[in-house]
Structure 1
Amino acid sequence: MSHSVSRPRRSVLFVPATNDKAIAKLPQLACDTVIFDLEDAVLPEQKAAARDRLAKFFAERPQRAREYVVRINSLKSPWGADDLAAASGWATDGVVLPKIETPRDLLEANDVLDEADAPDTLKLWAMIETPRALVNLAAIAELGRDPAARLSCLIAGLNDLAKDTGVMITPDRRYLQPWLLQMVLCARAGGVDMLDSVSNDFRDLDSFAAECGEAAAMGFSGKTVIHPAQIGPANAAFSPSAEALAEARAVVGAFALPENASRGVISLGGRMVERLHLVQAEKMLARAAMIAEMTGDEK
């Protein structure tokens, strides 16, 4: 099985870098990734203290499979350059760049990391939250094809996008769906993950679960969340179902039979199955194995 599978990012929790209570609770949470926020969730007078708080966290970083990344302030802001310089020396898995608009924004951040001798394992994530970013999205995502550019993941930022365009965010997100699908398409073309936007109403978990299901059906890699209650529904929606895993195992097993070794197309359960379905099945099983390894569950 030679197909590369990106690490699971089913639930990606935003945590304000100043919220000691929330940070203390992280070991008990089942999210795949944590984004420590130095940007929107931190008041200007608290920016420096928030940066110091994260320096302490990463100096004592817990050893576990979860990803920890940091959303810095915009490099156009008074705090962004200091944030990026600090993060380049932390044991963080990635830096989330807000309000990016062109490939140049990513390349400039990458140059800073390279000059600081940041490890290659430190990746760049980008928020897609402005009209200009959406217009330039194909070129931005294409940087994912160049390992030296560090780009690993894109995040939909619908709140800012709606604010800047005047497009209404309805419960079914009908007016935003063309853009959401375009984000997935560009991310896949660039070989990077695409995370769905946060849902502001963390009390309505039924609607949230439905939104996660639709996002998974649209091809998103996972969901950004703002409350621990949203983690479970996101993990469920972006994990392969038991039925899907059983079907994947059947496809792999069928192509493994000696009589099918040289066949490009076979019949399985009354359906035509091609080699491309074998590739999909192998990727799904590999993803399920990674999730089981991260969570300690037996699948």
Structure 2
Amino acid sequence: MDLRLCRTLLFLPASNPRAIAKARDLEADFIVLDLEDSVRDEDKARARAEAAEATRSGFGGRPVAIRLNRAGSAHYAEDVAAARESAADFVVLPKAESAGEAADAGRLTGKQVLAMIETPRGVIEAAAIAAATHGLIAGTNDLSAELGIAVGQGRAGLAYALQRIVLAARAAGVAAFDGVYNRLEQDEGLEIECREGRSFGFDGKSVIHPSQIAAANRLFGPSEAEVRSARRLIAEASGGAERFQGGMIEAMHVEQARFLLAKARLA
């Protein structure tokens, strides 16, 4: 599956079997079973077992990942072993800061890797990291804390880092996903972040609560008007530069339209 088609990445504590069971009926495009921040140290072993079992049961054909603890942490080796024996399609590497870390995660687990960019060093090394992965995820909470951006100050101070993550992913030809919205419901703030993230070029949004899925799916998915326009563009394009709806189009616009329709089919 082309991960760029995914609109929502739902992060779930792997230690919460009720949340895992509920996720099978939710409309998130990609499931991430978390062994890191959402799981207490005393629950890590149980979370590994729950995550492995959940991957074997599957999520209706949707891609599933296990988020490891940070490379070099006390939990990393056991996480790697559990992920290697699981049926997960991917692993998510938090706080990635080098291409070597990302490559090692893939080699040790035998899984495809998504890397979270959550530190200044990670932002600086994002292009190299992206080239060693199948996608980047913006870790906006940790990155805000590392940059000294106080809670409630918005995302203006993250704009350069977020755009650099998208640029790195595009240069490597991999997916890019926006970070989480911290309020646990759908509200105007979530919609603002989704629109902003899509305008930056992100493929989809990380979500942490079922109530966030519908809005993120809608705002990162093509609208009916966009679908109609894409179909018309493809039908009318005959090659080369030509006029369409008052503007000029060429081959790249046809490819964009085809990709938009592929995303609409997933929805």
- CA apart distance, 1:8: 2.4
Contact 2:36/2:68 (<8 A) preserved: yes
Which stretch of structure 1 is more off in the superposition, 95-104 or 162-171?
A: 162-171
1:123 alignment partner in structure 2: 112
Are 2:248 and 1:272 aligned? yes
Look up the equivalent residue of 1:123 and give its one-letter code: Q
Are 2:7 and 1:31 aligned? no
2:104 alignment partner in structure 1: 108
1:147 alignment partner in structure 2: none
Distance (Å, rounded) in 1 between the aligned partners of 2:262 and 2:36: 35
Deviation per residue, 1:144-198 (Å, 9 max, x gap): xxxxxxx211111111112122134546411111111111111111111111111
Distance (Å, rounded) in 2 between the aligned partners of 1:104 and 1:73: 16
TM-score, normalised by the number of residues in structure 2: 0.94
1:20 alignment partner in structure 2: 17
Deviation per residue, 1:181-232 (Å, 9 max, x gap): 1111111111111111111112351210111011111100111011100000
Please say which structure displays the higher CA radius of gyration. Answer: 1
SS of 2:114 mapped into structure 1: strand
CA RMSD of aligned residues (A): 1.7
Distance (Å, rounded) in 2 between the aligned partners of 1:109 and 1:27: 27
Kindly, what percent of the aligned residue pairs are identical?
39
1:80 alignment partner in structure 2: 76
CA 231–68 in structure 1, closer or farther in 2 if over 3 Å, else same: same
- CA apart distance, 1:90: 1.1
Distance (Å, rounded) in 2 between the aligned partners of 1:45 and 1:5: 36
- CA apart distance, 1:110: 2.4
Contact 1:168/1:175 (<8 A) preserved: no
Are 2:226 and 1:244 aligned? yes
Contact 2:35/2:69 (<8 A) preserved: yes
- CA apart distance, 1:267: 1.7
Look up the equivalent residue of 2:56 and give its one-letter code: A
Contact 1:5/1:287 (<8 A) preserved: no
Are 2:159 and 1:177 aligned? yes
1:222 is matched with which residue: 197, 200, 204? 204
Pairs within 5 Å for 1:1-299:
5-6=2-3, 8-62=5-59, 64-113=60-109, 118=110, 122-143=111-132, 151-168=133-150, 170=152, 172-203=154-185, 205-255=187-237, 260=238, 263-289=239-265, 291-292=266-267
Contact 1:70/1:96 (<8 A) preserved: yes
Distance (Å, rounded) in 2 between the aligned partners of 1:220 and 1:103: 21
SS of 1:88 mapped into structure 2: helix
Deviation per residue, 1:79-138 (Å, 9 max, x gap): 11111111112111100011211111112222313xxxx3xxx31011100111111111
SS of 2:9 mapped into structure 1: strand
Structure 1, gaps ≥5 residues long: 144-150, 293-299
Distance (Å, rounded) in 2 between the aligned partners of 1:158 and 1:269: 38
SS of 1:101 mapped into structure 2: coil
TM-score, normalised by the number of residues in structure 1: 0.84
CA 45–106 in structure 1, closer or farther in 2 if over 3 Å, else same: same
Distance (Å, rounded) in 1 between the aligned partners of 2:236 and 2:211: 40
Structure 2, gaps ≥5 residues long: none
